Structure 1
Amino acid sequence: MNYYAVLDVGGSSIKYALMDEAGAFIEKSSVPTPKTSLTLFMDTVDSIVKGLGKNQPLQGLAVSMPGAVKVETGMIEGVSALPYIHGPNMKDLLQERTQLPVELENDANCAGLAEGWIGAARDVNDYLCIVIGTGIGGAVVLDKKIRHGKNGFAGEFGYMLMEDYLGRQEVAETWSSIAAVGGLVNQVAKRKEMAPDDLTGKEIFTLAENGDTDVQDEIEKFYKRLAVGIYNLQFIIDPEKILIGGAISHREGFVKQLNETLQQMKYDQEGLTVQVEKCQFGNDANLIGALYHFLQRQKEGRLKL
Structure 2
Amino acid sequence: MKSILVFDVGGSSIKCGVWKDEQLSELKSRKTPATWEEMKAVFLDVKNELDDELQGVAISIPGAVNVNEGVIYGTSAIPYIHRFPIKKELNELFGLKVTIQNDANCAALAEVWKGNAADVANSAFLIIGSGIGGAIVINKKLVPGSHLFGGEFGYMVIDQRNGHTLSEMGSPVTMAQQFTKKQNDQKNYEGTDVFALAQAQNEQAIKSVETLYNALSIGIFNLAVSFDPDKILIGGGISRRPDLITELQKRFKTLVVDKHADGLNTQIVSCKYLAESNMIGAVYQFELEK
Return the match for 2:103 from 87, 103, 107. Answer: 107
Alpha-carbon RMSD: 1.8
- 1:96-122 alpha-carbon deviations (Å, 9 max, x no partner): 011000110000000000000001111
Shift of residue 89, structure 1, vs aligned partner: 1.4
1:79 is matched with 75
1:237 is matched with 227
- 1:75-131 alpha-carbon deviations (Å, 9 max, x no partner): 111112222211331111111011000110000000000000001111112101111
Mark the CA change 1:123 to 1:2 in structure 2 (over 3 Å): closer, same or farther. farther
Measure, in 2, the Cα distance between the counterparts of 1:271 and 1:153. 28
Measure, in 2, the Cα distance between the counterparts of 1:203 and 1:49. 40
Measure, in 2, the Cα distance between the counterparts of 1:131 and 1:102. 25
2:125 and 2:233 in contact (8 A); partners too: yes
2:228 and 2:266 in contact (8 A); partners too: no
Moved more, 40-49 or 108-117: 40-49
1:14 is matched with 14
1:262 and 1:274 in contact (8 A); partners too: no
Measure, in 1, the Cα distance between the counterparts of 2:29 and 2:177. 31
Secondary structure of the residue aligned to 2:54 is: coil
2:236 is matched with 246
Structure with more of its chain in strand, by fraction: 2
Mapping 1:202-217, distance limit 5 Å? 202-217=192-207
Measure, in 2, the Cα distance between the counterparts of 1:145 and 1:246. 21
Secondary structure of the residue aligned to 1:30 is: strand
1:231 and 1:274 in contact (8 A); partners too: no
2:269 is matched with 277
Measure, in 2, the Cα distance between the counterparts of 1:122 and 1:266. 26
1:118 is matched with 114
1:182 is matched with 173
- 1:111-153 alpha-carbon deviations (Å, 9 max, x no partner): 0000000011111121011111111111111111111111111
1:164 is matched with 160
Percent of counterpart pairs with the same letter?
38
Measure, in 2, the Cα distance between the counterparts of 1:194 and 1:204. 14
- 1:188-232 alpha-carbon deviations (Å, 9 max, x no partner): 34543568x822101111111222122212212221121111011
Shift of residue 262, structure 1, vs aligned partner: 1.7
Mark the CA change 1:202 to 1:83 in structure 2 (over 3 Å): closer, same or farther. same
Return the match for 2:45 from 36, 44, 47. Answer: 47
The number of residues matched between the two structures is 288
2:61 and 2:103 in contact (8 A); partners too: yes
Q: Which runs of 5+ in 1 are unaligned?
A: 299-305
Shift of residue 50, structure 1, vs aligned partner: 2.3
Shift of residue 38, structure 1, vs aligned partner: 1.3
